[in-house]
Structure 1
Amino acid sequence: MIQGYASLWGVADLNGDVVQAGAFADSLAKTGAQGVRMLNQHDARAPVGVWDEIIEDERGLFVRGRIEDWSPEARFAAALSRAGAMDGLSIGYRTARARRQGRLRVLSEIELWEVSLVTFPMLPGARFGLG
């Protein structure tokens, strides 16, 4: 079992994107957690598990799921996670609504496609732990 925050409200990532609270609500209402893929390093050819729960809370986008044992990529991602060599999360999405605020892009509506396990997250605070 892994869990953590894939996005944090009001925190700029390294690319200058800031996610506004509630940005995922419509997308999650349509697909639920089962419609969001768990990938390794954003590789669509490498699903490594499933998300059992994805919710927006007061801090950000909280995710909980399981890395499965169904492929070499999944076993490798699990081993890296257990060793503490990989603990980042990163979202794959389509921007539905955004606005400029100085150098930042504020995302107010996001169509969430996937949450990846990554070595280096674009949002440094987007991390997971084993639970």
Structure 2
Amino acid sequence: MKQKHASLKVRDFDLEVKAVEDGGTFKGYGSVFGVVDSYGEIVAPGAFAESLAEIKAKGRPVPVLWQHRSGQPIGVWDELAEDTKGLFGTARLLIEDLALAKEAHALMRVGAVSGLSIGYWVRESSYDEKTGVRTLTKLDLVEISLVTFPANDEARVDAIKMKLAHGQLPTISEFERLLREAGFSKTQAAVVANRGLPHLLRSESEGAGEKQAAIERMNSMLDGFSLPSL
């Protein structure tokens, strides 16, 4: 079953320190093909091809952001291309011009900043109801950030909130994982997700008014959502 939708999301990967050079240049994968991530999603080869072609045609480089903060660009991606493994790129931090870029570079060299995270819109995907896995087949690349911790829980919560903001409800598997990350046991998360969310998903199919009401209820719940202190 294919679906087209717009959903601003993030996707995290570890960054190897050995890929960081003295002049502020570093290399790494912003996405890897064929691996099911914590959202229950998998990126298909070719998913970035159309977006990369559009970016090249516009002549506008993809920015390196600090922690997904749009007001804090610290460099640019000079090269981005798909290979057999995933989306690979070479980036350049503006360490001679920006103090934050210089700080980020120093933190990367010692391993205190250890992740890459891409921000993207989902243009097209397909969902396998049997496995609960969504395959992302066409993505719009927006930015690639340096992050302190890859795959952090707050980013996952924010990603689901962004999905709701664009008129979509999470899948049952996404919601169950969110509950697990919040500290619920596997059994508790399954009960809450499978008893509560299906009603909202049914409402989505009943019309625009019911769908909006369902989204508002989910947003209200997430507004009070807090992760447990460790």
TM-score bucket (shorter structure):
0.7 to 0.9
2: CA distance between counterparts of 1:118 and 1:99? 29
1: CA distance between counterparts of 2:106 and 2:37? 27
Residue in structure 2 matching 1:104, options 124, 130, 133: 133
Unaligned runs of 5+ in 1: 124-131
- Matched-pair identity in %: 44
Residue in structure 2 matching 1:43, options 44, 48, 69: 69
2: CA distance between counterparts of 1:34 and 1:13? 29
1: CA distance between counterparts of 2:64 and 2:87? 14
1:1-131 alignment to 2 at 5 Å?
1-32=25-56, 34-69=60-95, 70-101=97-128, 102-122=131-151
Give the secondary structure class of the aligned counterpart of 2:104: helix
Higher relative contact order (CA 8 A, sep 6+): 1
Q: How many residues align?
A: 123
* Residue 121 (structure 1) shift: 2.2
- Letter paired with 2:53: A
Instruction: Tell me the TM-score normalised to structure 2 length.
Output: 0.51
Unaligned runs of 5+ in 2: 1-24, 153-230
| Alpha carbons 2:61, 2:76 under 8 Å: kept | no
Greater fraction of residues in helix: 2
- Letter paired with 2:36: A
- Letter paired with 2:82: E
Per-residue CA deviation, residues 30-81 of structure 1 (Å, 9 max, x unaligned), is: 0038432111111101111110100000000001011112333222211111
- Letter paired with 2:103: F
